[in-house]
Amino acid sequence: MTTQVIESKLSPVASAPAPAQRRSPWLVPAALAALLLAAAPWMSGQFVLHLAILACINVVIVNGLSLIDRCGQLSFGHSAPVALGAYGSVLLASGTGLGPVVSTALAAIGVGLVSGLLGWVILRLRGVYFVLVTFAFAELVRLILLDAAPITGGANGIASIPPLQVAGLVFDTRERFYALALGAAIASVLLMVWLFRRPLGQALNAVAANPTLAESTGLSVLRLQIVGYMGGCMLAGIGGALTARYIGFISPESFNTGASVAFITMLVIGGRKSLYGPVLGALVLTPLPELFRGAVQTQHIFYGAALILILRFLPGGIAGLPRLLHKGVAK
Amino acid sequence: MDWQLLLGQATANGLVVGLLYLLMAVGFTLVFGVMRMVNFAHGEFYMLGAFAAYTLVVKLSLPFLLAVALSVVLAIVFGSLVEWLVLKPFRKDELNGMIATIGLAMILQNVALLTFGPDPVSLPPIATGASTVLGVTVANSRLYVVGFALAVLLLLYAFLRHSPVGRGLRAVVEDADIAAIHGVRARIYYPLGFGIGIGLAAIAGALMAPLFSVSPFMGQTPLLKAFMVVILGGLGSIPGAAVAGLCLGLLESYSTLFMSSSTADMLIFILVVVGMLAFPRGLIGRGEA
């Protein structure tokens, strides 16, 4: 027991996956359960599939937010890159006649460039100031989308967006689209796991833990945060493009402050410190509205209360729960 | 087109809107100064203030002035209670405190939606007719609002400047630890500071209720403007918020003479970002980074 305690104290990133030689006994059952959970929607009807697709898209988007958060900056305007990705992908495809895949890739790159430029300016700000500016930027993006009615359709949005098509395969049924969304979600999780095992990920962690110390050891805080911010925004942009292709309709109101708040809620309730927090948050909170169908207000009140209670009593989110329970048993 | 007339009208409108921003931003920055907490629920308290005034005037047919006074007292009591019951564990914890107020905002807005419904309502005008001040014709109801807002500001100034409680509050804003060493009981000033900040938002809401329509979503825009104002004025700086609030209101009003209001919003956003980068501690005030 004591050695375990010492080990957990020594390991700098307690929530990082354990190294290969010290796998948790829960790994195999957890992997099996995840596999079953991922396959279940195909056998459970259209409604469950619909929720599963939305949950997968949210995993991609919230992973993006988590990547930014892990550089030590909280974005309160995460709906902005989602909106830019969605509109970019759709408008590029309809305006230039490019295929949906190429236009989505181009839109993601575009979001990366925009966020890189914006990040270069606003990432010099710290803490609360950064939060406020990202919030204002998201409002600005929404205003521009509303204002540029000749291109974006204004408040009416863009309807009847054609489904995604890859080399003759049309993702027009829920079964097919779920495969795509699941692939994207898994890819984004693997990307995060891979990134935070690399030196770049360690550097990002260092920047978040103590920017001054990181800077003095030769890491460029601004440059690292720009990289993290660009990556996070590109994930959000891809999530936005997927949403547009799946729902077939986008409007500025799909990307309002409420959306940004929902992403933060998922991240915080899932667990900000854990790689699996975004996944858990998206999985738990996406189907939740269905429990409160017809009572959106009650649902939001529940979200708000859950947010405050989790912050107060479970700062590690749902992902921190096993550790907490483990500690309780060990005592 | 008579430029002098247009300019005069724009100034009058800008002053009304600027006073609204000023009240919002001073309350917002006071809360930040005391608790180091960005209050995302500030707009919701503005909305609740407007609804309180609406309920008292329309449902209980009280006179408007009494309704405003009552809603402010209610807001200060309610705000202090919220601070004490909900936000206490998050004092001085910038990021988590901010997320907690997002949760608070969600709860308040949706409780208002459940109680009052989504449709906007309106108050009867507090005054009719118009007067001419310095050659500019202004609706009397707006003049009243300007008068009340200025009176509130004078009261606040006197309270912060000369009353023992106000001096204690300013000491806590300046440095809570040193204030505690000198015998200022921070325990009381956290709920009080939050309550007064919230009270200012509620006054703004109650005063603007007869001018604009009242709905559960009305808090969004003033909150965004309050952010802009405190960024320009420096977070935690009360004089900064006051000057920047008036400037932003006038600037918006003048800019609508030349361009559409959304273009003006974009330009102001760019201005705010540039201003923040050039003067990280605020253009006017001596904010705390």
Q: For A226-263, what is each residue's pLDDT tens digit?
A: 999 999 999 999 999 999 988 888 888 888 888 898 89
How far is Cα A81 from Cα B178, in angstroms, rounded to an integer? 43
How far is Cα B285 from Cα B150, in angstroms, rounded to an integer? 20
DSSP string, A112-127: HHHHHHHHHHHTTS-H
How far is Cα B32 from Cα B194, in angstroms, rounded to an integer? 9
Q: Does the pLDDT at position B227 exceed 70? A: yes
**Contact (CB<8Å) A147/B262:** yes
Give the dihedral of Cα atoms B237, B241, B242, B247; nearest 10 deg: 140
In a domain, B28, yes or no: yes
In a domain, B97, yes or no: yes
- Interface confidence, given as ipTM, is 0.78
Span B107-161, pLDDT tens digits: 998 888 888 888 888 877 776 767 777 667 777 777 888 888 888 888 888 888 8
Q: Does B128 touch chain A (CB under 8 A)?
A: no
Domain that holds residue B156: 3-218
Torsion angles phi and psi, residue B38, rounded to 5 = -80, 120
Classify B136 as helix, strand or coil: strand
**Contact (CB<8Å) B235/A303:** no
How far is Cα A213 from Cα A311, in angstroms, rounded to an integer? 27
Q: B86, B205 in Cβ contact below 8 A?
A: no
Give the dihedral of Cα atoms B58, B63, B65, B69; nearest 10 deg: -70
- Residues of chain B with C-beta less than 8 angstroms from the C-beta of A300: 106-107, 109-110
In a domain, B63, yes or no: yes
In a domain, B112, yes or no: yes
How far is Cα A33 from Cα A147, in angstroms, rounded to an integer? 47
Which residues are bridge partners to B132 per DSSP? B137
Span B163-173, pLDDT tens digits: 888 888 888 87
Instruction: Tell me the CB-side half-sphere exposure of residue A302, using CA atoms within 13 A.
Output: 12
What per-residue confidence (pLDDT) applies to A14?
A: 41
Give the mutation candidate from B31, B93, B104, B107 for the A interface (greatest A CB count, under 10 A): B107
- Residues of chain B with C-beta less than 8 angstroms from the C-beta of A308: 86, 100, 103-104
Count of A-B CB contacts under 8 Å: 106
Read off the DSSP letter of residue B133.
E
What average pLDDT score do residues B251-267 get?
A: 79
What per-residue confidence (pLDDT) applies to A19?
A: 46
Helices (H), chain A: 2-10, 27-39, 45-70, 79-96, 100-122, 127-147, 149-152, 174-195, 199-209, 211-216, 221-247, 257-270, 277-285, 288-291, 296-313, 321-330
Search chain A and give the residue with CA nearest B90. Answer: A312
Classify A165 as helix, strand or coil: strand
In a domain, B274, yes or no: no
Distance from CA of B88 to the nearest CA of A (A): 10
Task: State pTM to two decimals.
Answer: 0.81
Banded model confidence at residue B180, pLDDT cuts 50, 70, 90? confident
Helices (H), A2-126: 2-10, 27-39, 45-70, 79-96, 100-122
In a domain, B283, yes or no: no
Q: B35, B196 in Cβ contact below 8 A?
A: no
Torsion angles phi and psi, residue A170, rounded to 5 = -95, 125
In total, how many domains does chain B have? 1
Smallest CA-to-CA distance from B249 within B24, B29, B20 is with B20
In a domain, B240, yes or no: no
**Contact (CB<8Å) B231/A129:** yes
Taking CA atoms, B206 is separated from A245, B77, B270, in Å, by 44, 16, 31
Smallest CA-to-CA distance from A225 within A205, A250, A247 is with A205
**Contact (CB<8Å) B265/A140:** yes
Classify B213 as helix, strand or coil: coil
In a domain, B273, yes or no: no
Distance from CA of A317 to the nearest CA of B (A): 12
Search chain B and give the residue with CA nearest A305. Answer: B103
Indicate the residue type of A329.
V
Q: B54, B211 in Cβ contact below 8 A?
A: no
Smallest CA-to-CA distance from A278 within A101, A115, A59 is with A59
Lowest mean pLDDT among A23-32, B104-113, B149-158, B280-289: B280-289
What average pLDDT score do residues A195-217 get?
A: 88
**Contact (CB<8Å) B235/A128:** yes
